[in-house]
């Protein structure tokens, strides 16, 4: 990959965020960004980012929110947005100080997760490790963000690194869920493919008496099936499938390392290898049909 996975995700999320904002939407976005990543000092609250496109986006948001802002090149890195506390109204200041923009934001789930990530998040290269984290400006914001994430089924752990509150998720499936929630389906498919290969390789390596050719074939087959299932989940949703296919998809997600015969044995009631193989092939066909429909409509 020429650009880092985290940088590509930032570009993806920012592209999806480009829209005309109402004053309320702009205030909530700026409030969220400054709550989780704004640094206070000398009568100012400052946000610094290396992503100039996002800084420009926030300047436009400040204009929509009718908030005065100055932009300058940061001494250490990136570009800085400077807000004077004296120019911010009492309601805005109060919500910043109490992390209210995190606790009761009106933003959609996708918008909230996208802008919290754009403000202070990072995603490790999945080829090296599975890790999603946020570096927060203050402990109160970390607590509120962790609570918000939990409400959406994202279980973040917390720590402090060099005095900075950190939230992190190292569960690969939860990180995939985060990508689904933000709408980053293109990166999701790539991420899941890498993740599945890690899982399958680890599982297959534990099996005894399996020759290399069979191992590679099983890894490739399971990877292909899981990619198809994840694509269906991210587009039409697994709930759109007939029960027999949905159950087969869920069983494959639960056990990516199992052979088709072993999967069939775990179904309720159990089915033979041929029947299980037929269902998995049908899932791949459905995923292909969805991709073709998307390319035509696009």
What digits encode the pLDDT tens for the residues 187-202?
Answer: 998 898 888 888 777 7
User: Helix 273-297 to helix 243-254 angle, to the nearest 10 degrees?
Assistant: 100
Are the C-beta atoms of residues 236 and 290 closer than 8 Å to each other?
Answer: yes
Q: Residue 1 — very low, low, confident or very high, per pLDDT cuts 50/70/90? A: very low
**278 pLDDT higher than 70:** yes
Which residue would you say has higher pLDDT here, 20 or 2? 20
Superfamily of domain 5-174: Homing endonucleases (3.10.28.10)
pTM: 0.67
User: What are the extents of the domains in the chain?
Assistant: 5-174, 185-297
Contacts 24+ apart (CB under 8 A), 242-248: 244/279, 245/279, 245/282, 245/283, 245/286, 248/276, 248/279, 248/280, 248/283
Lowest mean pLDDT among 44-58, 163-177, 263-277: 44-58
Confidence at residue 249, expressed as pLDDT on a 0 to 100 scale:
93
Q: Residue 296 — very low, low, confident or very high, per pLDDT cuts 50/70/90? A: low
**154 pLDDT higher than 70:** yes
The residue among 77, 182, 58 whose CA lies nearest residue 123 is: 182
Integer-rounded Cα radius of gyration of the chain: 22
Averaged pLDDT for residues 68-93: 77
The residue among 225, 211, 209, 228 whose CA lies nearest residue 257 is: 225
Confidence at residue 214, expressed as pLDDT on a 0 to 100 scale:
67
pLDDT for 46-77, tens place per residue?
898 888 899 889 989 988 888 887 776 655 56
Dihedral over alpha carbons 44, 57, 13, 291 (to 10 degrees)? 170
């Amino acid at each position: 990959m020429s650009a880092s996975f985290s940088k590509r995700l930032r570009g993806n999320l920012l592209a999806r965020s480009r829209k005309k904002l109402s004053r309320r939407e702009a205030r909530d976005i700026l409030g969220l960004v400054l709550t989780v990543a704004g640094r206070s000092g000398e009568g100012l609250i400052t946000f610094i980012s290396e992503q100039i496109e996002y800084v420009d986006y926030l300047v436009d948001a400040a204009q929509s929110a009718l908030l005065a802002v100055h932009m300058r090149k940061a001494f250490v890195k990136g570009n800085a947005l400077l807000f004077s506390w004296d120019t911010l109204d009492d309601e805005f200041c109060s919500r910043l100080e109490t992390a209210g923009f995190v606790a009761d934001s009106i933003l959609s789930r996708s918008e909230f997760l996208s802008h919290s990530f754009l403000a202070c998040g990072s995603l490790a290269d999945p080829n090296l490790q599975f890790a999603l984290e946020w570096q927060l400006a203050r402990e109160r914001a970390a607590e509120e963000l962790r609570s918000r994430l939990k409400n959406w089924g994202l279980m973040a752990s917390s720590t402090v690194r060099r005095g900075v509150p950190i939230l992190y998720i190292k569960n690969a499936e939860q990180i995939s869920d985060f990508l689904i929630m933000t709408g980053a389906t293109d990166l999701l498919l790539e991420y899941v493919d890498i993740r599945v290969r890690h899982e399958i390789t680890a599982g297959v390596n534990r099996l005894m008496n399996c020759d290399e050719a069979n191992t590679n074939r099983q890894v490739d087959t399971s990877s292909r099936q899981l990619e198809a299932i994840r694509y269906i989940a991210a587009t039409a949703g697994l709930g759109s499938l007939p029960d027999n296919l949905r159950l087969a998809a869920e069983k494959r997600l639960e056990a990516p390392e199992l052979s088709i015969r072993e999967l069939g044995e775990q179904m309720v009631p159990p089915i033979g290898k041929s029947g299980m193989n037929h269902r998995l092939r049908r899932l791949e066909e459905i995923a292909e049909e969805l991709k073709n429909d998307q390319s035509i409509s696009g």
